[in-house]
Structure 1
């Protein structure tokens, strides 16, 4: 029989063998886990690198510009001002901020008046007018004033100068004041603040634009600009000049600006889709089913 000491040595040897086996197995498992983690990290880096190279993280400037461009439509109380007309509000985001939109104003005074709305400098005004036009807001309304500044004043369904939609928006493109000459008049050779053919918004009160706009039939220069320029007349300027030459009478407030004999009526106002600057807009159907003609140079 083996001595007690031999048995102890065998037991100790078996214990050591078991410990070494467990350590070897644990080391193998660690190496396997480390290899798997390393492979996953490498794979992730490869995927991210490929996505980066393919532009997955690139931003689309045009899309983001449209998404970030927000027009604030401030609610107006129709109970406090019964001249306001509720036709909802335009979108606040995703609005076009480059190019132009064609606006066609058909009146009872002759050929249609075509306008190019500037989306870069007045995106909110263009969005508002397009929204209102889609609701037939301007149809069968009067241009109630021929202003002393040399513009035809339109866009108020109430004909009072106090009407508009149940929202307003801020000025966008008010020109800088003209530099006065020593004689207190415009400096010689200085461009007009509002050149003939300019289209501008009328805010009442100042800074609270709604639906009213001006069609300038002559140059107007002022040291106190207050109208946002939103575009230019591209056709039918002779019609605007004809309207501007109509006799006027007192409008009830002491100002002789109301057309005397003939009401100037907007029969329809339509706005086309946005196009790039310099492109020819395609005809766009109005809410009444007619088409707006492409603007011609004027």
Structure 2
């Protein structure tokens, strides 16, 4: 089963290549930008500051929900910019009192959009951190996106081993108890809209 995990589209970015003229000398190669690059895309669903460009790391967080606590082990070595963004948003209260807007039974639970429409985000985007060899077993925590390098705030928890192309940045795993909570939510199915969990799933805080 291959289902696109959609998130807020980033604003179109236009780049212009400038060619030097009047000289046969080679221009020195531009230095690669250091740290994490977060690009503003417009108004966010909640006002937040951009994350710091230098990742501060982070190992564990707890997603407190009305269904119970989901403990997360983050992977800053594999996805430093995704972890940095997630931690920054958590510290700014971006996820507090938000509803998980999508569940696909036996597949994924998706959260991280304060508007609960599937189109909201933090007002910035950042690049994918993928190697092409990613797999998505049950308990995987990964970024939802709407195409290359459009990561924002929406994330998903894999309920069962998902047959997904390696296009989604994996930035952590949830513990067994948290996975059981997510699986139970998935087993309950969707509401009348066919997308949201039949019983509301509300994130109270991430800390």
Give the TM-score range, shorter chain. 0.7 to 0.9
1:259 paired residue number: 197
Alignment-derived partner of residue 227 in structure 1 = 168
Structure 2 regions of 5+ residues with no counterpart?
Answer: 1-32
178, 196, 199: which one pairs with 1:236? 178
Query: For 1:168-207, what aligned pairs fall within 5 Å after superposition?
Result: 168-173=125-130, 175-176=132-133, 193-207=135-149
Distance 1:149 1:160 in 2: 21
Q: Is the partner of 2:152 in helix, strand or coil?
A: strand
Gaps of 5+ in 1: 1-67, 178-192, 271-298
1:150 aligns with 2:107: yes
* Counterpart for residue 159 of structure 2: 217
**CA RMSD in angstroms, aligned pairs only:** 2.0
Number of residue pairs matched by the alignment: 174
Contact 2:103 2:189 in 1 (8 A): no
Q: CA deviation at 1:148?
A: 5.6
After the TM superposition, which segments of 4 or more aligned residues of structure 1 sit over 3 Å from their partners? Answer: none
Structure 1, residues 248-269: CA drift from partner, whole Å, max 9, x if none? 1353xxxx22222x11000111
Rg larger for: 1
So what's the TM-score if we normalise by structure 1?
A: 0.54
Per-residue deviation, residues 207-235 of structure 1 (Å, max 9, x unmatched)? 2111110011111123x332111111124
Call closer, same or farther: CA 1:77–1:154 in 2, change over 3 Å.
same
CA separation in 2, counterparts of 1:135 and 1:264? 21
Of 42, 64, 67, which residue of structure 2 is paired with 1:77? 42
Q: Specify which structure has the higher proportion of helix.
A: 1
8 A Cα contact 1:108 1:267, kept in partner: yes
Partners of 1:147 and 1:169 lie apart in 2 by: 25
